[in-house]
A and B are shown apart, each in its own frame.
Chain A
Amino acid sequence: MRVLTDERRCVGADLGAWMAAGGGAGLERALADRGGIIPAIEAAGLRGLGGAGFATHRKWAAVAAQPGPGKWVICNGNEDEPGTFKDRFLLSRTPHQVIEGALVAALAVGAADIVLYINPREAAAVAVAREAVAQWEAHPLLARLAGALGEAPRLRVVTGSGLYIGGEETAAVASVMGGFPFPRLKPPFPAESGVGDAPTLVNNVETLAHAGHILAQGPEWYRGLGLGGAPGTKLFSLSGDVLRPGLHELPMGTTLRSLVFGHGGGVLAGRAFKAVFTGGPSNTLLTAADLDVPLDFDSLRARGSRLGTGAMIVVGEGTSILRKTAEYVAFFAANSCGQCPPCKIGTHQVSRILERVEAGAGRPGDLRALENLAGLLPGSGRCGLVDGAATVLASSLRTFRGEYERALGPSGQEDGQEDGQGDGQGDRLRGGGLRGGAP
């Protein structure tokens, strides 16, 4: 069952149409029983759908517990990760769903400043959100919210820097304050000290979009949407070598097999399934052995990976894991803010080595250097960027080492290991014709 992407709710910026489609009911309920909001969110088991999977009610309760006024709600729509395209869909197709959720959150935590923080590269999302916000200004529900909050809520759209790093919550705070999106050390968390040192709630667009529905239809309904104990639905940004890529809203806990082979139509051209890059793509690769893992926060964590943003980049036979990894690490290197030397230099160094291995110019020792860096880098930055780069590198090295060895050729390997050994992936590859480093 689709909730967020239900066709009837995709009304664009038209507030009247949103109300006609059942919109506003969640906010009505919230206004009627303000103290019941956070318990309802807790009962529903809503978690941060931007990637962290942190329990939403705990964030809300933390901000609500802070003394007001002057609190903020940031609806985080900075989305810039490769392969993720859910927030731009929600903001451009059904913005009122997001705004209503943000207003529910504002009511729950007692914040009058509500910011839709959107990546400026998503021009359509920005334009639709601006128009949607303008329509709320005159709506009576907003006046009732003002009554409850004790001051008129200030709802606005802020376009950030467009940089990937701006999606990190402390960076989002810095960005909303007009600065460069430098992440900072936590604690203090934004819930204690955010915009202008005021308590600030930062939630992802998809997370907030669920809030109104939970209030309107109850936590039991929401829990019932998921599978195997996981609550609710999840937007999966499916891309790569599948027949039907695109945004799929499925029950939380749907298996990877069902997503790829059922909803995705299978691996393109009937080829063998190799792996999936999830989330950032900054997580451990899912392989054929993980096809029956339910896609929810806890099941994936138990397998040593993460759900992340719900981006699932499918790699089929014929597509190089090495090239994909090099592309993503290059993305992280280019998007390191440069504050923390290990991240700035480390991601750059990994990217440089991967690029030369990929271009057939790898050197002896490159493989060992990559492994050393993958072990050395995690945990060395203020935010998780360097961890993501190291995780995806380590995972691809562990699972698809043969691809690295083939690209390096015999001269690139210190121990003189022959081609084709390793994971057996090389059998199809025409006897190692891809060797570039050979003299």
Chain B
Amino acid sequence: MSAPAAAHGIPHAAALAAWRGRAPAPPRALALPAPELLERFHPDRRPGAMVPLRVGASAGLPCRAELAALLQSDALVEDEDIAGAPLLDADVLVIGGGGAGCVAALTAARAGARVLLATKLRLGDSNTVMAEGGIQAAMGPEDSLQRHFEDTLRAGHFAADKALVAALVSDGPGVIRWLIQEGMGFDLAEGSDRMGGNLLRRKPGGATAARLLSYRDFTGLEMMRALREAVLLAPGITLLERHPALELLTDDRGRCAGAVLHELARGRPVLARAGATVLATGGAGRLHVAGFPTSNHYGATADGLVLAYRLGAALREVDSFQYHPTGIAWPPRMAGQLVSEAARASGAALVNGLGERFVDELDTRDVVAAAILREIAEGRGVARDGQAGVFLDTPGLERAKPGILGRSLVTLTHLAHRAGLDAAAEPFLVRPTLHYQNGGIAIGPDGWSGVPGLLCAGEVTGGLHGRNRMMGNALLELVAFGRRAGAAAAADARAERPRNIGLTHLADWRRALIAQGLPLARKAPLVFPPYGNFDMAKDRGRAA
């Protein structure tokens, strides 16, 4: 899983010497204007990376080739497979056990709905727990919703849906209040004590105000801890762990009526019938687009996009992925794992093999990532054991703010320990890692996809981040839209149960594939990454 970046560059020992020899300096101005830098070095701009979709509600839309192949494939289940399958009933089915799924399930259950929460792995196995930097919400006296709105739109290159962004930023302060009530901890500003105080705010990359709230550098993990407890204690939620969704069900009016789940423990299909379904299946990092390593968890295989698209939902910006600038480049066994942006937000510099800073570390992620890829491509990267990257100057940060690594960059220190280095003495070797799917299923402000009965929340959706996501907006999105989708689903789940549930949409889908000359041999969703060696047909046979 090596990045296409050439592994040549300045040898590690020489680069370390150069780094030691130079005093911290302001970053060299970009020799290229940002648009040209992105055009030449961003992985999404590589020729041939995108293909137009040929079938479905978004036919014609450019899409990552690896993703398009999955989107335009045949189903894993047949109508025959679900005859005799056990049937579970709920008002609301939530698919996905990450942050957005938990929030949607909690919200729907508290609104009185009977909720089924199905997750491919275990509750909390998700990208939410990988979010280290923090969560944005316009809370400061100098900040405003308007500024948050403008920052988000600008960072997304003005491709985002303004109504969605307005909903997102407006929910921000309420989301933080809700999270505190759920028991989530936040860092407090200097001078706060147990009797009260203010939330600690920092400035995220690309923002005009200090707006990033955090809990150390494992904010997402802390959020998931609180959400997980709340879900496990909620009486209205039935949890189905290790139940990946293989296909969505429709009723006789074409409305989404639940999903076909696969019970991994027994290797058999289970039908979950529901008045409304919330897809919160997260992202696609484990597709390893463009050959990049990923920071994403094991289950991030774009299943939700595949399922919703097959049912007729429209997609957007599926040609736009976020490559986080600072994934671990060395040691190779940890390649792709994330070094929090909190390090750069706190002041850690990026340094090339010549000991020079080469970019404003707080620029937007796409620009910083492209700048790193440029250093590597032009031979100014650092080469070590066949891996190429640049230095993240954690020793410099520790010198500037003594004690910060042990106090607030706990995860980073832990990662360094696992990598066998002392973050206070030696810089990390980093390079961009596949981090986030900027686009996804097109939704309205309440989380509705275009398909009746189907709502979506979290990373699986598109439109909030345009073509580049700001740090801290993903955690905000999953709570804000998890709540919106959960409430809308509970309100919509009819007392009347869906009738004649089935897979009737598959015949139309197959006709469309055949009409376009696309092969029916490929089956999706992927469920697990290819190196998981999971074969659905074999697994299903296990039940015999």
Give chain A's interface residues, CB within 8 Å of chain B.
240-241, 243, 245, 268-269, 318-320, 322-323, 327, 330, 357-362, 403, 406-409, 419, 429-437
Task: State the Cβ distance, A75 to closest chain B Cβ, in Å.
Answer: 28
Residue of B nearest to A430 (CB): B541
Does A434 contact B79, Cβ atoms closer than 8 Å? no
Cβ-Cβ contact count across A and B, 8 Å cutoff: 93
| Contact in complex: A434, B502 (CB < 8 Å) | no
- Judge if B268 is at the interface, Cβ distance under 8 Å: yes
Interface size on B (CB < 8 Å)? 29
Q: A243-B511, A269-B510, A269-B514 are in contact. Are A433 and B543 (CB under 8 A)?
A: yes
Instruction: Report the minimal beta-carbon distance from A238 to chain B, rounded to whole angstroms.
Output: 12
Least CB distance, B538 to chain A, in whole angstroms: 9
Residues of B within 8 A of A245 (CB): 507
Instruction: Assess A320 versus B500: contact at CB under 8 Å? Given A361-B86, A409-B84, A433-B543.
Output: no
Which residues between 509 and 541 of chain B lie within 8 Å of chain A, taking CB atoms? 510-511, 514, 520, 537, 540-541
Answer whether A319 and B511 are a contact pair too, CB < 8 Å, given A431-B544, A435-B268. Answer: no
> What is the chain A residue whose CB lies nearest that of B503?
A319
Central interface residue in B80, B269, B520, by most chain A CB within 10 Å: B80
Q: Are B82 and A323 in contact (CB under 8 A)?
A: yes
Point out the residues of chain B lying under 8 angstroms from A403, CB to CB: 80, 83
Q: Are the C-beta atoms of A429 and B80 separated by less than 8 Å?
A: yes
Which of chain A's residues has its CB closest to B86's CB? A360
Q: Which residues of A contact B78 (CB under 8 A)?
A: 318-319
Shortest CB distance B462–A (Å)? 30
Assess the A318–B80 pair: CB atoms within 8 A.
Answer: yes
CA–CA, A71 and B275, complex, Å: 49
Is B224 at the interface (CB under 8 A from chain A)? no
Separation of A432 and B541 alpha carbons in the complex (Å): 7
B520, A433: Cβ atoms under 8 Å? no
Determine the chain B residues whose CB is within 8 A of the CB of A319 once the complex forms: 78-80
Give complex CA distance A92, B537 in Å: 46
A260 CB to closest chain B CB, in angstroms?
14
- 6 sample A-B contacts, Cβ–Cβ < 8 Å, listed by A number: A268-B511, A323-B79, A358-B83, A359-B84, A359-B271, A429-B81
- A430, B84: Cβ atoms closer than 8 Å: no
B62 close to A (CB within 8 Å): no
In the complex, which residues of chain B have a beta carbon less than 8 angstroms from the beta carbon of A407?
83-84
Q: Which residues of chain A are near B500, meaning CB under 8 Å? A: 327, 330
CA distance A322 to B78 in the complex (A): 13
Structural contact, B541 and A320, CB atoms closer than 8 A: no
Q: Is B499 an interface residue (CB 8 A)?
A: yes
User: Across the two chains, which residue of chain A brings its CB closest to B268?
Assistant: A433
Q: What 16 additional pairs, Cβ within 8 angstroms, besides A359-B85, A436-B84?
A: A245-B507, A269-B74, A269-B514, A320-B80, A322-B83, A323-B79, A327-B502, A357-B84, A358-B84, A360-B84, A433-B267, A433-B268, A434-B82, A434-B85, A435-B268, A437-B84
The contact of A434 among B81, B510, B537, by CB within 8 Å, is B81
Complex Cα gap A419–B543 (Å): 13
Q: Is B87 an interface residue (CB 8 A)?
A: yes
A269 to B513, CA, bound (A): 9
8 Å CB contacts to A: which residues of B56-81?
Answer: 74, 78-81
CB distance from B532 to the nearest CB of A (A): 20
B139 vs chain A, min Cβ distance (A): 50
Is the CB–CB distance between B544 and A436 below 8 Å?
no
Asked if A435 and B543 sit within 8 Å, CB to CB, the answer is yes
**Smallest distance from the beta carbon of A69 to chain B beta carbons, Å?**
45
Find out whether the CB atom of B85 lies under 8 angstroms from the CB atom of A360: yes
Residue of A nearest to B269 (CB): A434
Chain B residue at minimum C-beta to C-beta distance from A319: B79
Report the minimum CB–CB distance from B132 to chain A (whole Å): 41
Residue in A240, A322, A429, A436 with the greatest tally of chain B CB atoms within 10 Å: A436
Contacts known (A330-B499, A408-B84); A436 close to B268, Cβ less than 8 A:
yes
Complex Cα spacing A408 to B85, Å: 10
Q: Return chain A residues, CB-CB under 8 Å to B86.
A: 359-361, 436
The yes or no answer to B417 lying at the interface (CB within 8 A) is no
Q: Which residues in B have their C-beta under 8 angstroms from that of A357?
A: 84
Assembly CA distance A269 to B508 (angstroms): 11
Question: Within the complex, what minimum Cβ distance (angstroms) separates B498 from chain A?
Answer: 13
- Contact assessment for B499 and A240 in the assembled complex, using a CB-CB cutoff below 8 Å: no
For the complex, give the distance between the alpha carbons of A243 and B82 in Å.
Answer: 23
Bound CA span A404–B479, Å: 45
Give CA–CA (A430, B514) in the complex, Å.
26
Residue B157 at the A interface, CB < 8 A?
no
With A and B bound together, what is the CA distance between A269 and B83 in angstroms? Answer: 21
Taken together as a complex, chains A and B put the C-alpha atoms of A362 and B271 apart, in Å, by: 15
Bound state CA distance, A403 and B79, in angstroms?
Answer: 12
B542 CB–A CB distance under 8 Å: yes
- Min CB distance A250 to B, Å, is 21
> Within the assembled complex, what's the spacing in Å between the Cα atoms of A407 and B84?
4
**Hey, which chain A residues are within 8 Å of B83, CB to CB?**
320, 322-323, 358, 403, 406-407, 434
Q: Which residues on the A side are within 8 Å of B544 (C-beta)?
A: 419, 430-433, 435
Q: Is the CB of B542 within 8 A of A433?
A: yes
Nearest to A320 among chain B residues (CB) is B83
Output the least CB separation between A274 and chain B (Å): 10
Listed from nearest, the 4 A-B pairs whose CB atoms lie closest are A407-B84, A431-B544, A320-B83, A359-B87
User: Of A327, A360, A431, which one neighbours B87 at CB under 8 angstroms?
Assistant: A360
Pick from B79, B87, B267, B507: contact of A320, CB under 8 Å: B79
Please report the C-alpha to C-alpha distance between residue A245 and residue B543 in the assembled complex, in whole angstroms: 36
CB distance from B86 to the nearest CB of A (A): 4
Contact of A431 among B79, B269, B510, B541 (CB under 8 A): B541
A426's closest neighbor in chain B, by CB?
Answer: B80
Whether the pair B514, A320 counts as a contact (CB closer than 8 A) is no
CB distance from B431 to the nearest CB of A (A): 43
Nearest-neighbour CB distance to chain A for B506, whole angstroms, equals 9
CB distance from B501 to the nearest CB of A (A): 10
Most central of B74, B499, B507 by chain A CB within 10 Å = B507
Please, which residues of chain B bring their CB within 8 A of the CB of A431? Answer: 541, 544
Docked-complex contact A243 and B514, CB < 8 angstroms: yes
Q: Which residues of B contact A359 (CB under 8 A)?
A: 84-87, 271
Which residues of the other chain, B, contact A360 by a CB distance below 8 angstroms? 84-87
Residue of A nearest to B539 (CB): A433
CB of B255, distance to nearest CB on chain A (Å): 16
Report Cα–Cα, A431/B537, bound state, in Å. Answer: 10
Bound-complex Cα distance A360 to B34 (A):
59
Contacts of B81 in A (CB 8 A): 429, 433-434
Q: Which residue of B271, B499, B514, B541 contacts A433 across the interface (Cβ within 8 Å)?
A: B541
Q: Most chain-B Cβ atoms within 10 A of its Cβ — which of A241, A243, A362, A433?
A: A433
CA distance A409 to B544 in the complex (A): 10
Q: How far is the CB of B544 from chain A (nearest CB, A)?
A: 4
Minimum distance in angstroms from A233 CB to a CB of chain B: 26
| CB–CB B510/A268 < 8 A | yes
Cα A11 to Cα B82 in complex, Å, equals 44
- Which residues in B have their C-beta under 8 angstroms from that of A429? 80-81
> Which chain B residue lies CB-closest to A403?
B83
B538 and chain A: residue at smallest CB distance: A430
How far, in Å, is A48 (CB) from chain B's closest CB? 28
Name the B residues within 8 Å of A330 (CB-CB).
499-500
| B80 touching A436, Cβ below 8 Å | no
B520 / chain A contacts, CB cutoff of 8 Å: 269
Among B79, B86, B510, the most chain A Cβ lie within 10 Å of the Cβ of B79
Q: For window 72-122 of chain B, which residues contact chain A by CB distance below 8 Å?
A: 74, 78-87
Chain B nearest Cβ from A355, distance in angstroms: 9
Contact indicator per residue, chain B 311-330, by CB within 8 Å of chain A (1) or not (0): 00000000000000000000
Interface centre among A322, A323, A437 (most CB of B within 10 A): A323
Instruction: With CB as the reference atom, state the residue of chain B lying closest to A408.
Output: B84
- Tell me which residues across on chain B come within 8 A of A408, comparing CB atoms: 84
Whether B540 pairs with A433 at a CB distance below 8 angstroms is: yes
CA gap between A211 and B87 in the complex, in Å: 50
Task: Write out the residue numbers on chain B whose beta carbons fall within 8 Å of the beta carbon of A437.
Answer: 84
The chain A residue sitting closest to B80, CB to CB, is A320
Q: How far is the CB of A347 from chain B (nearest CB, A)?
A: 15
**Bound Cα distance A362, B78 (Å):** 21
